Structure 1
Amino acid sequence: MADGSPLVSAAWLKDNLKAPDLRVVDASWFPSWTASAGAGRQSYDRGHIPGAVYFDIDEISDTESNLPHMMPDSVKFSSRVRKLGIGDGNRVVVYDANDFFASARVWWMFRVMGHKDVYVLNGGLRAWEAEGGELEDLPPVITGGRHFTPRVRSDLIKSREQVAAASASGDTPILDARPAGRFAGTEKEPRPDLPSGHIPGSGNVPSGKLVGADGKLVSKEQINALLGDHADRPVVASCGSGVSAAVIALALAEIGNWDVAVYDGSWSEWASHPESEIATASA
């Protein structure tokens, strides 16, 4: 575990997997336009890191919202993670089987709830297997029962109204993690009911540029080349539905900015709201 980093390596996790205070979380999730419903859970059931519990971002969410996987309130979050055997004093390592979809999101969720001792396995399941890590296909025996005390950090989550104000003032950078064509409005959104384009005044940092071919976060030097101007200032990250935005937050934490906020509703909310202005490359 590197000092000052939100990441751990597969080698570190292998060496520390049986530490009594460690909890491993599988956050595998696949967008609906790339896989069938439940694909993340199916990936977990096929094989996961021994002892890992499954965190479903579609279930541990505000299911009363008409927007996808919105952040739940602190009562629901604490209840669900307690059932997963996670509580105060636990070190949490999150991974997924899909190149930071959605391990970065779950890392950010724990931080919103005030849990600081949370990390992401760099390279995810692929890195674990490359390190010779074993997999199991049986559900773990959940032990512990510690209380999880939420200490909500409202500064790490932004509403549409707050983002609209930031867009109008230009005081806080808004960084969009979607692919360039969707940001520019030249390619269609995967959600067919939404137009493409972007929040006025926002910038585009596709999350794919922050993840290398090996599924690991790119080097600090590469992150600085893409995001160095934002290493020591407030930032709001956005994307399609608040998942890949967290990759920007994770990358900025890797170079020292731990206070990046995520626009939870992201483009799913912005583009469907009648009062939202939509910018495109042609405009």
Structure 2
Amino acid sequence: MSLSVPDPLVTAAWLADHLAAPDVRVVDATWFLPTLGRDARAEYRAGHIPGAVFFDIDEIADRSVDLPHMLPPSERFAAQVGALGLGNGHQIVVYDGNDFAASARVWWMFRAFGHDDVVVLDGGLGQWRREGRPVEDLPPPPRNRVFVPRVNRVLVRDFDHVLANVASGHEQLVDVRPAARFRGEAPEPRPCPIAGHVPGALNLPASEVLDPVHRTLLPAETLRERVAAAGIDLARPIVVSCGSGVTACIVALALFRLGVTAAIYDGSWAEWSQRPGAPVTR
């Protein structure tokens, strides 16, 4: 049975209505920057949407590189999500407790491995709780499923690609860090040897695509206005970056709501700032 939906997001009401469907799987992808001093896994244990499994982007990652939560090899991803009970044929609903970080990242990860039946709960756990919906503190019983990955290279960009694009300008690079970090006037939350941004990049802070009160994604028309104000042309290819590849996915999710599929520079500023000779604009 397919429960595919036309929007990349679903409401709490939709999820409540489909929570017992046999092919629906719910994923808690809550993640916090280390500087916040919060334990996402502990918060999951304290209370989560019934049936949700915990997806740790720092664990389901490429552990062979000295960069945070990089996209893992396909076989590692398949084994780890299969162990969580997530397989082909499932409609996966991802949420978090921190303004789409990292539910949008996990949404992108599944699509990067060829699984398009994945959506994000708009407003996350906060919206679920505000509507008075139930939570539980027990993890679901373990159940292994088979996940067969089909890597979608269209959704991923690496350092060499972005470096070549500085000269060619074929793709628009959209940096979603706060404006002060983009300009090199504020420090990064993790150590970086240089500050600034990739030459030619545009700036659309991820916070600009969220409702400031309800922390839901803005309506499509408002998103179009924010995108246009940032100088982004929706008719041209777009690559999104940020500090370490997490909040970039929030803007990619917003662009997908507008019918645009954007790629993610997975290493983002955490990688760019460490590469000798990488050009920087301040």
State the TM-score bracket (shorter-chain normalisation): over 0.9
Q: Quick one: distance in 1 between partners of 2:193 and 2:269?
A: 8
**Residue 253 (structure 2) aligned to one of 250, 255, 258:** 250
Describe the SS at the equivalent of 2:177.
coil
Distance, in Å, in 2 between the alignment partners of 1:212 and 1:16 is 25
What amino acid sits opposite 2:248 in the alignment? A
Aligned equivalent of 2:27 = 25
Whole-angstrom distance in 2 between the partners of 1:33 and 1:269: 19
What 5-or-longer segments of structure 2 have no aligned partner? none
**What are the ranges of 5 or more consecutive residues in structure 1 without an aligned counterpart?**
none
Work out whether residues 83 and 145 of structure 2, in 8 Å CA contact, stay in contact via their aligned partners in 1.
no
Q: Which residue of 2 aligns with 1:95?
A: 95
CA contact (8 A) 1:232 1:256 kept: no
Q: What residue is the counterpart of 1:64 in the other structure?
A: 64
Aligned equivalent of 2:209: 210
Across the two proteins, how many residue pairs are aligned to each other? Answer: 276
With normalisation by structure 1, the TM-score equals 0.94
SS of 2:34's equivalent in the other structure is coil
Within 2, Cα distance between the matches of 1:17 and 1:142? 18
Within a 5 Å distance, the mapping from 1:175-194 to structure 2 comes to: 175-194=174-193
SS at match of 2:105: helix
Q: Distance in 1 between matches of 2:181 and 2:32?
A: 19
Tell me the amino acid that sits aligned with residue 172 of structure 1.
Answer: E
Contact 2:176 2:206 in 1 (8 A): yes
CA distance in 1, matches of 2:208, 2:131: 24
8 Å contact from structure 1 (residues 27, 95) kept in 2: yes
Q: How far does the alpha carbon of each residue in 1:77-104 deviate from its partner, in whole angstroms, 9 at most, with x for none?
A: 0000100101010000000000101000
TM-score with structure 2 setting the length: 0.95
User: In the TM superposition, what is the alpha-carbon distance from 1:230 to its structure 2 partner?
Assistant: 3.7
Q: Match of 2:16?
A: 14
Q: Quote the sequence identity (%).
A: 49
Runs of 4+ displaced beyond 6 Å? none
SS in 1 for 2:215: coil
State the Cα distance separating 1:40 from its structure 2 match.
Answer: 1.1
**What do you get for the CA RMSD once the two structures are aligned?**
1.3
Alpha-carbon shift at residue 234 of structure 1 (Å): 1.6
